[in-house]
Chains A and B, each alone.
Chain A
Amino acid sequence: QVRLQQWGAGLLKPSETLSLTCAVYDGAFSGYFWSWVRQPPGKGPEWIGEINPRGDTNYHPSLKSRLTMSVDTSRSQFSLQLTSVTAADTAIYYCARRMMIAGRPTRIDRWGQGTLVTVSS
């Protein structure tokens, strides 16, 4: 059974950079899109972006200017960096796996445990 385990700093000051990494265990790394989703407290999830093992990325337009995703296929890991954070970026951040079918990303079927990231001065 595939597991996604994520880690990174949970408390940031405004203008700092959010960095999270997710490792994939007990499952294939190729053939999927690897995504990040965030969920502000008490609200619905928001898809942030994704990367495939080749390094092709797709970012949410509202975050594109501050967002970088990377992948390390040798370690089955992928990472997220979000620069210049503000209080509006406070949320639980999840890494997730998206099924890829006929070259198109589809449903998210596995999630990491989540990391609460709080931005506060």
Chain B
Amino acid sequence: DIQMTQSPSSLSASVGDRVTITCRASQNINNYLAWYQQKPGKAPNILIYAASSLQSGVPSRFSGSGSGTDFTLTISSLQPEDFATYYCQQSYSARLVFGGGTKVEIK
């Protein structure tokens, strides 16, 4: 099975900061990669699919890049509502495995 590894597992940042989260796949998954945001006590919410396609309604400060095994989620200017946990998920294989998550906390 494909394994997904995120880094860092947590980070502290301030409002207005540029934040980058990395996700690495254990094998080539082309651009079959999605990113989700989860806030405490809530279900996850899709942000990006196909590595770089922004889901409708998601603010443009979120962007994704990468292909093959290495991917990045970038928040260009962190807002108070962005403090949450972020997960990547591969969709190359039928078993849609998630990464371990990155918690973005307030500095």
On whether the two chains bind one another, the answer is: no
Which chain B residues have a beta carbon within 8 Å of chain A's beta carbons? none
